[in-house]
Amino acid sequence: MARLLLSTVAAAVAAAAAAAFAPQGPCDIYAADKAPCVAAHSLVRALYGAFDGPLYQVNRTSDGALLDVGVLAAGGFADAAAQDAFCGPNACVVQRIYDQSPNANHLDVAPGGGHVPRGDQPVNATRHAIQISGHKVYGAFFEGGQGYRIDATKGVATGNDPETLLMVTSGTHWNSGCCFDYGNAETNNNDDGKATMECVYYGNSTSTGRGAGSGPWVMADLEQGLWAGAERVNPGNTPVLFPFVTAMVKGGSNGFALKAGDATQAGGLMTKYDGPRPTNYQPMKKQGAIILGIGGDNSDLSVGVFYEGLITAGVYVTPSCLHASACLVAVLFAWGWLT
């Protein structure tokens, strides 16, 4: 009996030690901060330390066969070798980007909308290969006319509820087309007026708002306006031109913040704006759909690259990371590139 008790205690201690040193993903950090991920999408890695499911699905266009691309190990990088073996010399497209959160907010190829009635095209699954910490992975390379969407979601903010929207993208592939967005949009695929969207945008569109210089900028797409701040021009929102860009919108109940940084470096994000929303955008009227690479009404002229993104419930930040967001960024974006 004593030996059994001792072995039970030892097993419990070993389990506790393993848990203490288990890898943490960004969604684990947000959950501990009482702002859990309600959606978590990535083609490159798990966003939870324990996640071992599929990241995305590829379609081999020659015969329509499908493959779910998972991770090499729980909490790890994408199994690009499995994709390569499946696709070979054949054309493959990304059919679905799985939500790693419990909400199953998976992104499928977007249907038509009020601005572009035809449905969008999927991205080429093999167009953009990169290396992260010695691992080959793929990003979603948007070339115009491509987009993903889910209208019936679970857990995503509606009305004036707060949320955080975060995307890792490329600082070398962008344009001024509308709109390379990731985030919260209309559930009917139409333009429903100001304040019915809240997405993080990256590009150099000047159709409504802009930052300093010629861009590109991290801005918020709030519908009928891309905003670099509360005014049409925000000189404090300077261009963001890192090869790999962290782009964030923190949508509070009474205002919003725009943050950006170098996705290959641990440390704080730069605040590009933090203050009230533009006139006629408060309170928000969010509807809770999720879009990627397009505007809320299926405007699909933008180009860009999507590596990963997440949406949380709330905008909390742990006290030790209040100013620099250092503990989040260290885990979330220090990928150990290069090329």
Which residue numbers are catalytic? 223, 297
Task: Specify the DSSP class assigned to residue 269.
Answer: P
Map residue 83 onto helix, strand or coil: helix
* C-beta neighbour count of 186 within 10 angstroms: 24
Cβ neighbourhood burial of 173 (10 Å; 0-12, 13-18, 19+): middle
How far is it, in rounded angstroms, from Cα 215 to Cα 94?
Answer: 29
How far is it, in rounded angstroms, from Cα 118 to Cα 122?
Answer: 13
How far is it, in rounded angstroms, from Cα 158 to Cα 43?
Answer: 26
For 290, residues 6+ apart whose C-beta sits below 8 A from its C-beta are 39, 105, 107, 149, 150, 153, 156, 183, 184, 185, 311
DSSP code per residue over 284-324: --B--EEEESS-TT-----EEEEEEEEEEES----GGGTTT
Map residue 331 onto helix, strand or coil: helix
How far is it, in rounded angstroms, from Cα 307 to Cα 314?
Answer: 23
Q: Is the peptide bond before 37 cis (omega within 30 degrees of 0)?
A: no
- Structure tokens belonging to residue 296: 């809320």
Q: Is the peptide bond before 276 cis (omega within 30 degrees of 0)?
A: no
Cβ neighbourhood burial of 142 (10 Å; 0-12, 13-18, 19+): buried
